[in-house]
Amino acid sequence: MPVTRGFHRRRPEPERGRLPPGQYDTGSSWPVLSAEATPHQPEESWTFSIDGLVESPHTWTWQELQALPGSTFFGDIHCVTTWSKLDTTFSGVSVDDLLAVARPDPAAAFVMAHSVTGYTTNLPLADVTGGRAWVVWSFDGKPLPRQHGGPLRLLVPHLYFWKSAKWLSRLELMAEDLPGFWEQNGYHDRGDPWREQRYQGDD
Ligand X SMILES: Nc1nc2c(c(=O)[nH]1)N[C@H]1C(S)=C(S)[C@@H](COP(=O)(O)O)O[C@H]1N2
List residues binding Mo ion (CB under 5 A): 33, 79-80, 161-162
Residue 18: CB minimum distance to ligand X, A: 18
Q: Calculate the dihedral angle through the C-alpha atoms of 131, 133, 87, 84, rounding to the nearest 10 degrees.
A: 130
- Give me the count of residues in the chain: 203
Q: How far is CA 18 from the centre of its chain?
A: 19
Under the criterion CB under 6 A, does residue 162 sit at the interface with ligand X?
yes
Torsion angles phi and psi, residue 149, rounded to 5: 110, 0
What span, in angstroms and rounded, lies between the C-alpha atoms of 115 and 129? 20
Residue 112: CB minimum distance to Mo ion, A: 18
String of contacts with ligand X for each residue 47-86, x by CB under 6 A: --------------------------------x-------
Under the criterion CB under 6 A, does residue 128 sit at the interface with ligand X?
no
Q: Which of ligand X, Mo ion, none binds 188 (CB below 5-8 Å, type-dependent)?
A: none
Residue 138: CB minimum distance to ligand X, A: 13
Number of other CB atoms surrounding residue 195 within 10 Å: 13
Residue 81: CB minimum distance to ligand X, A: 7
Q: Which is nearer to ligand X, 18 or 146 (CB)?
A: 146
Under the criterion CB under 6 A, does residue 180 sit at the interface with ligand X?
no
3-state secondary structure of 147: helix
Under the criterion CB under 6 A, does residue 46 sit at the interface with ligand X?
no
Q: Which of ligand X, Mo ion, none binds 170 (CB below 5-8 Å, type-dependent)?
A: none
Number of other CB atoms surrounding residue 45 within 10 Å: 8
At position 88, the amino acid (one-letter code) is T
What span, in angstroms and rounded, lies between the C-alpha atoms of 85 and 74? 11
Residue nearest to Mo ion (CB): 79
Q: Calculate the dihedral angle through the C-alpha atoms of 20, 21, 23, 28, rounding to the nearest 10 degrees.
A: 30
What span, in angstroms and rounded, lies between the C-alpha atoms of 48 and 123? 18
* Interacting residue with ligand X among 48, 90, 119, 134 (CB under 6 A): 119
Residue 58: CB minimum distance to ligand X, A: 22
Residues lying near ligand X in the complex (CB under 6 A) are found at: 30-36, 79, 115, 117, 119, 148-149, 161-162, 164-167
